Structure 1
Amino acid sequence: MRQNQREIIKQISDRELTFHLYATQMVLLTISIILGIFLYDDISSFLKQFVWDRQILTYGVGSGIVIAALDLLFMKVLPKKYYDDGGINERIFRDRSVFQIGVLTAVIAFCEEMLFRGVIQHHIGFLAGTIIFAVVHIRYWGNWFLILNILILSVWIGLVYEWTANLGVTMAMHFFIDFLLGLAIKYQAENREKEGMFYE
């Protein structure tokens, strides 16, 4: 499966990759809106899930930084095969600017948390939100460690949502995890390229 992913990712252009990334998020957002129309009484009931308080910094930003730091530590100490996703994440982040990574990860955090926590977990339950979140991240299915990683992450985000009932918290956490790891992947790829040029 990872080999197939590598071949597919090599064949598409940067523009096509960007289109697919944003199109996927728009699909998730559209599903959220459609389900929300039927499941919420009105827009105010949904907006009550956004509370701009200190929890966003402590649980959201704090958890995001800690999780990203742990992931970076594991990337250093574990064999490379544990984080082998077929080169997808490197292709996504390698050639983007910091601003572009920020925008992309903000869109991902907003759209995914709207659906998985704001609609599915809120109305169906913690277990459904956790499992569906992991299932949707199909690119990790070929690697048992990555699917375990995403399951644990999904459980933690779901628990934080249960404790805080605040979508602002889970969106902040999701954003900081993806943004920091995206930057790390970008700079690691750039360093490898520089080292390769040095040794040529």
Structure 2
Amino acid sequence: MKKQADIVKELSNRELLLNLYFSQLIFIVIAFILSIFLFEDFLDLLNLFDWDVNEIVLYGLLPGLFVVFIDIILMKFLPEHYYDDGGINHRIFTSLNIPHIFLLALVVSLSEELLFRGVIQTSFGWMIASIIFALVHFRYLNKVVLLVSVLLLSFLIGYMYEITQNLLVPVVAHFTIDFLLGIYYRLYRE
């Protein structure tokens, strides 16, 4: 059986990116299908978005910036192989320009938070959603630092949603983390 790193090496940058976008489309489709069965009305899912700027900044943006700060410090001081996810993040982010990183971070944060916080957490609770979110990032399962990082991040983002009940909070936190770390990979980890 091939290792993930070997599979990644066989894919072109374009194929890798298309696979990423396809996985996000699957998350959106699953979120909409589950919402049909789990919510009384489809609009219940959309009503989870609240444009409360104070909540978004305090519970989304600021914790997202803090996570990025901690991640960059850890990347500076820990051996590089601790953050190696099979080359996926490096390949994706170093091949994109900053506007495309913005778009990718937006798509990923919206699709993943719609499914994991908007549907799964709303229906089954914070713990289940956080564990499933971490497990979906299976490429981190054999990397201790990445696994602990995604578990802590999952519980943090889930908790932020739990206390605000505002889906824009985890979306903004997730976007901030992915976008800024994507830029970091693009500019400083080539």
TM-score range, shorter chain: over 0.9
Aligned to 1:198: none
What displacement does 1:156 show? 0.3
Aligned to 1:164: 164
Aligned to 1:35: 34
d(CA) in 2 for partners of 1:65, 1:189:
19
Residue range with higher mean Cα deviation, 10-19 or 178-187 = 10-19
Aligned to 1:194: none
What displacement does 1:44 show? 3.0
Structure 2 residue identity aligned to 1:26: L
Aligned to 2:8: 9
Q: Answer with 1 or 2: which has the greater Rg.
A: 1
Aligned to 1:19: 18
Aligned to 2:149: 149
d(CA) in 2 for partners of 1:84, 1:101:
19
What displacement does 1:4 show? 1.8
What displacement does 1:77 show? 1.3
Aligned to 1:117: 117
d(CA) in 2 for partners of 1:66, 1:149:
13
Aligned to 1:58: 58
d(CA) in 2 for partners of 1:185, 1:15:
17
Q: Which runs of 5+ in 1 are unaligned?
A: 191-200
User: What whole-Å deviation, never above 9, does each CA across 1:2-21 have from its counterpart, x for those lacking one?
Assistant: x8222111111122111101
Instruction: Indicate conservation of the 8 Å contact 1:51/1:166, yes or no.
Output: yes
d(CA) in 1 for partners of 2:42, 2:5:
42
1:49 aligns with 2:51: no
Aligned to 2:96: 96
Instruction: Indicate conservation of the 8 Å contact 1:64/1:176, yes or no.
Output: yes
What displacement does 1:151 show? 0.3
Aligned length: 189
Instruction: Indicate conservation of the 8 Å contact 1:5/1:88, yes or no.
Output: no
Aligned to 1:135: 135
Aligned to 1:193: none
Q: Secondary structure at the match of 2:189?
A: helix
d(CA) in 2 for partners of 1:48, 1:13:
39
Normalising to structure 2: TM-score of the pair? 0.95
d(CA) in 2 for partners of 1:152, 1:174:
13
What displacement does 1:123 show? 0.5
Structure 1 residue identity aligned to 2:69: A
What displacement does 1:85 show? 1.3
What displacement does 1:84 show? 1.8
Normalising to structure 1: TM-score of the pair? 0.91
What is the aligned-residue identity percentage?
Answer: 44
What displacement does 1:81 show? 2.4
What displacement does 1:86 show? 1.7
